[in-house]
Amino acid sequence: MVSRARSRSVSSGRGSARRRTDAKPLRLLIVAGARPNFMKVAPLLRAFRARPDRFEARLVHTGQHYDEQMSDVFFQDLEIPLPDIHLGVGSGSHAAQTARIMEAFERVAASERPDWVVVVGDVNSTLACSVVAAKMSPPVRVAHVEAGLRSGDRTMPEEVNRIVTDALSDLLFTTSPDADRNLAAEGVAKRKVHRVGNVMIDTLRRFLARADSSDVMARLGIAPPFGLLTLHRPSNVDDSQALRRIVAALEAISRDIPILFPVHPRTLKMIESLGVDMPVGAGASGLRLVDPLGYLDFLHLQKRARLILTDSGGIQEEASILGVPCLTLRENTERPITVTRGTNRLVGSDTAKIVAAARRILRAPAPRTRPIPLWDGKAAARIAAVFARLG
Cβ-in-10-Å burial (0-12, 13-18, 19+) of 52 comes to exposed
Other Cβ atoms closer than 10 A to 27: 19
User: Which H, E and C letters describe 47-63, residue by residue?
Assistant: HHHCCCCCEEEEEEECC
For the cut 90, the answer to whether the pLDDT of residue 368 exceeds it is no
The pLDDT-based confidence of 66 (bands split at 50, 70, 90) is: low
- Which residues sit opposite 262 in a β-bridge? 290
What is the CATH T-level fold of the domain 4-198+375-390, as seen in this structure?
A: Rossmann fold (3.40.50)
Contact at 8 Å (CB) between 349 and 328?
no
- pLDDT, tens only, 212-267: 999 999 999 999 999 999 999 999 999 999 999 999 999 999 999 999 999 988 89
Q: What is the value of pTM for the model shown?
A: 0.91
Which H or E run contains 9? helix 4-11
* Residue 5 confidence (pLDDT): 32
Region of poorest pLDDT, from 3-17, 174-188, 257-271, 308-322: 3-17
Domain ranges of the chain: 4-198+375-390, 208-363
Contact at 8 Å (CB) between 45 and 57?
yes
Select the more confidently predicted residue: 20 or 27: 27
Q: Is 107 helix (H, G, I), strand (E, B) or coil?
A: helix
Rounded CA-CA distance 87/239 in Å is: 31
Contact at 8 Å (CB) between 38 and 75?
yes
* Residue 10 confidence (pLDDT): 33
Cβ-in-10-Å burial (0-12, 13-18, 19+) of 5 comes to exposed
* Residue 222 confidence (pLDDT): 95
Which H or E run contains 391? none
- pLDDT, tens only, 120-155: 999 999 999 999 999 999 999 999 999 999 999 999
The pLDDT-based confidence of 97 (bands split at 50, 70, 90) is: very high
| Averaged pLDDT for residues 29-53 | 94
Contact at 8 Å (CB) between 40 and 47?
no
Residue 117, φ and ψ in degrees, nearest 5 = -105, 125
Closest CA to 188 of 172, 176, 173, 174: 172
Please tell me the number of Cα atoms within 13 Å of 48 on its side-chain side: 22
The amino acid that residue 114 corresponds to is P
| Averaged pLDDT for residues 181-198 | 98
* Residue 315 confidence (pLDDT): 97
Rounded CA-CA distance 269/125 in Å is: 23
Rounded CA-CA distance 69/75 in Å is: 11
State the DSSP code for 282: -
The pLDDT-based confidence of 348 (bands split at 50, 70, 90) is: very high
Closest CA to 35 of 236, 277, 276, 203: 203
Q: Cα–chain-centroid distance for residue 9?
A: 33
DSSP alpha helix (H) spans, 199-239: 199-212, 216-220, 234-237
The amino acid that residue 10 corresponds to is V
* Residue 75 confidence (pLDDT): 82
Contact at 8 Å (CB) between 35 and 64?
no
* Residue 67 confidence (pLDDT): 57
Contact at 8 Å (CB) between 301 and 293?
yes
Q: What does the radius of gyration of the chain's CA atoms come to, in whole angstroms?
A: 21
Given its phi and psi angles, is residue 154 left (phi above 0), alpha (psi -120 to 50 degrees) or beta? alpha
Specify whether 86 is catalytic. Answer: no
Residue 345, φ and ψ in degrees, nearest 5 = -140, 135
Q: Cα–chain-centroid distance for residue 345?
A: 19
Catalytic residue, chosen from 194, 232, 264, 300, is: 232
CATH number of 208-363: 3.40.50.2000
Please tell me if the domain spanning 4-198+375-390 has the same topology as the one spanning 208-363.
yes
Average pLDDT taken over every residue of the chain: 90
Rounded CA-CA distance 175/171 in Å is: 13
Rounded CA-CA distance 309/286 in Å is: 15
* Residue 365 confidence (pLDDT): 82
The pLDDT-based confidence of 70 (bands split at 50, 70, 90) is: low
